[in-house]
Structure 1
């Protein structure tokens, strides 16, 4: 992922910083304990598509409101 894009992206919930997990192709918000998927190189910054960080990616179901 482009580092310039990473400098601009923040968590859509708390507006905090995100870290890029290259192995799982996700952006992580430590404050909210959420992982946002990156699909086809595009970050999906929707709360409904995020998974809780205490779940493994294979178990993850999208969070619902």
Structure 2
């Protein structure tokens, strides 16, 4: 399964290396949660890319998991 995570939801160590723009973009991550490849500016760009691949085995994480207020 491919996982895409918004920059501001990545681990703090990874976020420290991203620019303000990078925190708002979506990154494909490996099984360790580290970004691979180039970022996608918008969620719709990921959906279009996945539609071209023709494989629906992916998820997009746009919020931190855990406690929500």
With the length of structure 2 as denominator, give the TM-score of the two structures: 0.35
The structure richer in helix per residue is 2
Q: Which has the larger radius of gyration?
A: 2
Q: TM-score, normalised by structure 1?
A: 0.36
